[in-house]
A = this chain, B = another copy of it.
Amino acid sequence: MTNLQAQWIVGFTDGEGHFGVAINKNEQMTMGCQVQPEFNVTQHYRDIKLLYALKDYFGCGVVRKNKGKNDESKVFCYRVRSRDHLNNIILPFFEKHQLKSTKQQINSRKVKKVLRLMDSGAHLTDEGLDQIRAIRSKLYL
């Protein structure tokens, strides 16, 4: 197993990380959609060991093939969607070890804001959902 140091993880995340909020239609949910804040890092299959090393370091999340139009894609990702793990493992790590890029700093703060809104049940009301969509629309791509 590849051993990682905190500053390497920060640098790798500044380069390759992604803090985002997926909003997917789901008729089984109260509001007809599911809000999923997430942290992910993608890599070509040849370096999948780095994704497993992140999973091992954080002790949460999954490594999976990136879904795409192309089934032959060799792009994989390490992904954390559990609100509990984002709140208690991932975000505290990046608060202790600050990201250096403006993009990642801002996006991680916006994901944190969405998590706080969800803690108060905002994703279960029209108004709250609009607030979440507004935050999501301002994430850096």
- Residues of A participating in the B interface, judged by any CB pair closer than 8 Å: 2, 4-17, 43-44, 46-47, 50, 53, 100-103, 140
- Which residue of B is nearest A14, CB measured? B12
Interchain CB contact under 8 A, A2 and B100: yes
Which residues of chain B are near A103, meaning CB under 8 Å? 44, 46-47
Return A18 CB to nearest CB of chain B, in Å: 11
Which residues of chain B are near A17, meaning CB under 8 Å? 15
Which one of B7, B102, B140 contacts A11 once the chains associate, using CB atoms below 8 Å? B7
Interchain CB contact under 8 A, A11 and B15: yes
Question: What separation, in Å, do the CA atoms of A6 and B102 have in the docked complex?
Answer: 20
Question: What separation, in Å, do the CA atoms of A40 and B5 have in the docked complex?
Answer: 23
